[in-house]
Amino acid sequence: MNARARIGLLGGTLDPIHVGHLATAEAARNALGLDRVYVLPSHVPPHRTQRPVASGYHRFAMTALAIDGLDALEASDIELCAPGPSFTADTLTRFRERAAAQDSQIFFIGGADAFAEIETWHRYPEVLDLANFAVVSRPQLPVESLRTALPELAPRMISVTANREPRPFGSLRVALSHVEGRIANREHAIFLIDAKTPDVSSTEVRRRLAAGESVTGMIPDAVERHIRQHRLYSKHSDRPAADHLHGQD
């Protein structure tokens, strides 16, 4: 195969971003030898009945703060700048149209819990033909359970163990070549990445913040400082969370 760039995309509401999101991105990057991972806060999450608590401005700012200093991770506003719900299929289509991504291998990164509902996603099953998928275990859902939960997709699945160090690029090429030779119509692969990720959720982080409880170890320190500076997620705030950052009020 050509030594094309391998790009990972990690999307989500990120309301707020937490250490579980970062661990998922790092697990996929290390297991698959990704050159870069873009972290994409969503505009309007299609699977939520309520809008995000924090504005897109703040969620993007928190994402940028969370990944600052982390190798090969970058915040992207591609979903925030697009109108309407942030459907994965539409995001992948837009990203593939970018000049820098046209000759890249794209891997959409997510947790096993989200991927377990793939059959309910917009433009399913077409969405699976727009990129490779990198699915990482969640504490309550081992990634290997997806073979049984989604038997029709099992032929596409390849098990990968996350390593502490990035996987050599050559080994990934062998894996992808194996898939392409095995699947007659050259479908994209679904990589099942068995990695330990923290048992953290944005819902629990918001609950703790609203109750005045500690979130130490659940979110990066810089994100916590931003939240407290702007009084996000606090039911005791004397004003609603700002829709803009400093200089935009």
Cα distances (angstroms) measured from residue 188 to each of 114, 150, 155, 176, 193: 18, 16, 11, 9, 16
Residue 185 in tokens: 């119509």
Is 237 a member of any domain? no
214 occurs within a structural domain? no
Residue 234 maps to a domain: no
pLDDT at 96: 83
Q: Work out how many domains the chain is built from and give that number.
A: 1
Evaluate whether residue 249 is within a structural domain.
no
Per the structure, the complete domain to which residue 132 belongs is given by: 6-194
Residue 30, domain member (yes or no): yes
pLDDT for 120: 95
Distance CA 16, CA 28 (A): 20
In angstroms, the first-to-last Cα distance of the chain is 50
CA distance 180 to 56: 39
- Please check whether residue 231 lies inside any domain of the structure: no
In a domain, 210, yes or no: no
Bridge partners (DSSP) of residue 136 are 111, 193
Query: Does residue 207 fall inside a structural domain?
Result: no
CATH number at residue 59: 3.40.50.620
- Between CA 243 and CA 249 the distance in angstroms is 8
One digit per residue, the tens of pLDDT, for the chain of length 249 reads 346 889 999 999 999 999 999 999 999 999 999 999 999 999 876 665 578 999 999 999 999 999 999 999 999 999 999 888 889 999 999 888 875 656 789 999 999 999 999 999 999 999 999 999 999 999 999 999 999 999 999 999 999 986 644 444 445 544 555 544 444 345 699 999 999 999 999 999 999 999 999 999 999 999 999 999 999 998 754 444 444 333 332
